[in-house]
Amino acid sequence: MYFPNVNLLRAFAALLVLVYHVIELGPWPDFPASGALLTFRAGWVGVDLFFVISGFVIGLSAIKLCREGSSDYRWTFMRRRLARIVPLYVVTLVAFLVIVQPSLLSLPWRKLAAQLVSHLLFLHNLHPASHGAINGPNWSVAAEMQFYVLVMLAAPLLSRIDVRALLAAGVLIAWASRALAFWATRDLGNPFYTFVYATQVPSMLDAFAIGIAIARLHLDGTLQRWTARHRWLPLGVSAGLFAIALHFVWQSYWSHADYWNNAAMVVFWRTGLATTFGLLVLVASLLPDIARFLRPLDYLGDVSYGVYLWHLPVILTLTAHALTRSPMELLTWTLAVVIALSALTWHFLERPIIRRLH
């Protein structure tokens, strides 16, 4: 099963994160603080959208392979995931170390080895010292890889568990994990520690579970039956609920600027965000193919992994050497260079390996 409109959401998620980092690192204090563009000031939520999309797409892949009954479905699943994630990850890791922050190579060998090993094993997100040390966004790639391993092991269960039980388990585990992270770090005086421990895989299981639940609704034929009975009603209801959820999620976020010091926000708010993005993914999966009319954005979805991994090295390089004179110029050059690098690595590195190992 393939849902082309989800590619548009990948593009949007990547742009959210890229523009957010330009605003923060530019810095860009005059960036609009109202209207639709306000969303980019909280563009870090693009990572949450990626997690919901990942739950959906990876759920489709793993459960479908499991149900096909092949004895080596786990190996097939992980081979495809490794082919998709590892090559560009390693290339951007090396580029960051050699070009962006070569000072890391001067660390005492034990510290350098610890950083390299933890990053190559996708474990660096587990500790604050390595969490964002080499190309900050890589922490979420580590979480993704850990999620893939979890899905590989749990595929038979995910294939047969009641969808309501799946959602309840994902939400409750995420709440418990984020509550533990908040109360364990609240007295340390640094919200970074809360962020690190509140974004581990258990803490993001609500987002992943929502994506998997949508995959199950498609794979089990539930959505097809609803659509057959009521035609456009499931799409209309999903779109309406998305609009309502989006309003309340953003209202609550901007009303609580002290996010990391607020237990209720840390523990519960991201579930509302994941639900909102889940409804968005559901709408995208129910709509007819509109990606074919938005080819540039569809292509950006194809190369979105590259956009995500290349954007911070490019921003840091441009700002470190004062190569741009204004935040708008920084954004323009960042988009141009990142899209060029992403296209280059997509066509000559990522896609050939994906095709070979699929």
Angle at 198 between CA 57 and CA 21, to 5 degrees: 75
Give buried/exposed letters for 77-112 (b at 16+ CB in 10 A, else e): bbebbebbbebbbebbbebbbeebbeebeeeeeeee
Does the pLDDT of residue 194 top 80, yes or no? yes
pLDDT class of 120 with cuts at 50, 70, 90: very high
Task: Say if residue 2's pLDDT is above 90.
Answer: no
Return d(Cα 315, Cα 100) in angstroms, integer. Answer: 10
What pTM, to 2 d.p., does this model score? Answer: 0.96
pLDDT, residue 230, reads 86
pLDDT at 358: 83
Label residue 320 exposed, middle or buried (CB < 10 Å: 0-12, 13-18, 19+). exposed
Please give the pLDDT value at position 9: 98
Q: Which residue has the higher pLDDT, 57 or 2?
A: 57
CB crowding 187-221: b at 16 or more within 10 Å, else e: eeeebebbbbbbbbbbbbbbbbbbbbbbbbbbbee
Q: Is the pLDDT of residue 153 over 90?
A: yes
CA dist., res. 236 & res. 90, Å (int): 43
Residue 61 to residue 66: CA distance in whole angstroms = 9
pLDDT, tens digit, 9 for 90 and up, residues 125-146: 999 999 999 999 999 999 999 9
Do residues 210 and 270 lie in contact, with contact meaning Cβ atoms separated by under 8 Å? no
Write out pLDDT tens, residues 57-108: 999 999 999 999 888 999 999 999 999 999 999 999 999 999 999 999 999 9
Q: What is the pLDDT of residue 231?
A: 84
pLDDT confidence band for 257 (50 / 70 / 90):
confident
Mean pLDDT of the chain: 96
According to DSSP H, which parts of 26-137 are helical? 46-68, 73-95, 109-120, 128-131
Q: What is the distance between the alpha carbons of residues 104 and 134, in angstroms, rounded to a whole number?
A: 8
Task: Provide the pLDDT confidence category of residue 210 given band limits of 50, 70 and 90.
Answer: very high
Q: What is the DSSP string of 201-231?
A: GGGGHHHHHHHHHHHHHHHTTHHHHHHHHHT
Q: Write 257-264 long-range contacts (CB < 8 A, 24+).
A: 260/191, 260/194, 260/195, 261/186, 261/191, 263/179, 263/182, 263/183, 263/186
User: Which of 156-170, 175-189, 222-236 has the lowest average pLDDT?
Assistant: 222-236
User: Residue 356: pLDDT above 90?
Assistant: yes
Band of residue 242 on the pLDDT scale cut at 50, 70, 90: very high
pLDDT computed for residue 71 by the predictor: 84
Q: What is the pLDDT of residue 313?
A: 98
